[in-house]
Amino acid sequence: MNRIPGPLKETRCGRATLRWGERTYIMGIVNLSPDSFTGDGLAGRWDEALARAQRLEAEGADIIDVGGESTRPGAEPVGVQEEMDRVLPFMERLAAQATVPVSIDTYKSEVAEAALKLGASIINDVWGLQKDPRLADLAARQGVPLVLTHNQEGMAYRDLVQEVMDGLRRSKEIAMEAGVSPDSIILDPGLGFGKRGGQNLAILRRLEDFRALGQPLLVGTSRKFSAAKVLGLPDGDRLGETAATMVLAIARGADMVRVHDVGVMARAARMADMIVRY
């Protein structure tokens, strides 16, 4: 069933079509930063990164998301040229071989434009057009989907869910004013971005509220929740925490999930779909 209000049914993404409501789409992660918060950064290791992307695709990824700047708390910002040096040589190789759409994870329009020229077909902006609104003009010109994530400096909220929804609504409006089609906008409530642990859980509890924004929802919980903090258990690989939060997100309205461990999470998503969508 399609749980998105209104006529929105599908999004063109390169040569692929994402048909919302039919199933959950899997976005697999390739980090090209040297300081990824999960320790999986492959900066400069092109062969390893390409092998990872190929494995993610084989395991069921519908999209490969490539990023060159760490989003961990306290990470140093990366300049445009340095980010290009990390991402573009790999993007050129990947786009020539991938059979699924490739996404560029950046908030810089210069990086995104260069990646699109090399074959990327989605822009994933973790700052929801707050850092560089020119990304909206670029997405409109190129006719590519735009993922807009809620993010903010600090973690102070008076009304958490309403403020996150309002922020996403503003990002959507900026995109549409620039000419981005509503069919090409995907919203992400930004778990882990400007939010502490309990706030992330609160958003997951009320994820259904975000359906009112009328756009497909992407949710990324991968490796962000630690049983050591939430459950008082020894920290481990976080597969269990990721699977639990991802399945709950699907049950409450997520259309796409962004994950590191595609194989096991794709199976969990398919099972969740069997319960929720059919």
What are the residue numbers of the active site? Answer: 224, 258
Identify residue 264 by its one-letter amino acid code: V
List the one residue out of 94, 66, 64, 68 whose CA is nearest residue 81. 68
Helix (H, G, I), strand (E, B) or coil at 10: strand
Query: Pairing between strand 10-13 and 16-19?
Result: antiparallel
> In angstroms, rounded to a whole number, what is the distance separating the alpha carbons of residues 110 and 126?
15
Helix (H, G, I), strand (E, B) or coil at 96: helix
> In angstroms, rounded to a whole number, what is the distance separating the alpha carbons of residues 5 and 159?
24
Tokens of 221: 């919980």
> In angstroms, rounded to a whole number, what is the distance separating the alpha carbons of residues 63 and 6?
25
> In angstroms, rounded to a whole number, what is the distance separating the alpha carbons of residues 106 and 112?
7
Helix (H) or strand (E) holding 64: strand 63-67
